[in-house]
Amino acid sequence: MSEIAKFVNHGSASITPAVAQKVLRQLPQWKLEFTQISAPKFPHLLNQLEFLAAAVEDVVEGAYKELPYIAIAQAVFALIYVHKKTGFIPEGILELSGADNSSVVRAVLIQNEKAFAIYAGTQSVDWRKITSQP
């Protein structure tokens, strides 16, 4: 398991349903913030963040009940991580800008690939566009 996946797993262990509810209330503002992220080397990051935000909204609101809690906890952790802007790599280093955010988000998507692929299908979302696969 990669160090990033271990980091995500450790961080998501502290995500409770109450934390997920709090994040749900903040998601409209966070989604606007995410559109301002400049990460030219990671063009799929915004789509991935939007996907994770939609999954969190649907599960926490009770509209979709099939995602395992660990997948939602990891998605919430990733959204919090990106929102806080206190990552491993300072935002001012342009050639690496977004690398840590992208790594955390991709670790969540990869670890929960099967469940998120099924969710994407129920939402008429092309999973290949989320995972950046051709």
Range of the domain at 94: 3-131
User: What integer is the mean pLDDT of 44-70?
Assistant: 96
DSSP helix, strand, coil percent of the chain (3-state; round to 5): 70, 0, 30
Residue 2 has pLDDT above 90, yes or no: no
**What pLDDT was estimated at residue 89?**
55
pLDDT of residue 93: 52
Letter for the amino acid at 90?
P
pLDDT digits (tens, 9 = 90+) for 10-35: 999 999 999 999 999 999 999 999 99
- Number of folded domains in the chain? 1
Average pLDDT score over residue span 70-92 = 83
